[in-house]
């Protein structure tokens, strides 16, 4: 499946985009908010310049990196308050 697809008609005006983005806009870490396609002509060579604007989803990093690390630190500090007498000897 291609992310960009052409309009059904082949002739487009200057104000129309010749391609339309049809991919997923919400990715795992980023969200695609805007895309532009410009035609650039340099030395009799026509190129298409595609600009994609993404927004960082900070909640992804919070839930997958910061929160588990914070829980590990909290559990580690909680074990410091346990009394050694509360544990049974498990060594033979």
* pTM for the predicted model, two decimal places: 0.49
| pLDDT score, position 10 | 45
Instruction: Name the pairing type of β-strands 30-42 and 45-56.
Output: antiparallel
Sites in the chain below the pLDDT cut of 70: 1-19, 87-92
Q: CA-to-CA distance for 68 and 19, rounded, in angstroms? A: 42
The residue ranges of every structural domain in the chain are 4-81
| pLDDT score, position 13 | 54
């Amino acid at each position: 499946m291609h992310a960009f697809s052409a309009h059904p008609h082949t002739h487009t005006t200057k104000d129309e985009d010749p391609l339309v983005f049809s991919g997923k806009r919400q990715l795992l870490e980023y969200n695609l908010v805007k895309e532009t396609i410009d035609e650039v002509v340099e030395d009799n060579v026509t190129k298409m310049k595609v600009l994609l604007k993404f927004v960082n989803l900070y909640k992804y990093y919070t839930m997958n990196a910061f929160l588990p690390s914070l829980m590990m630190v909290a559990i580690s500090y909680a074990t410091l308050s346990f009394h050694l007498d509360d544990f049974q000897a498990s060594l033979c």
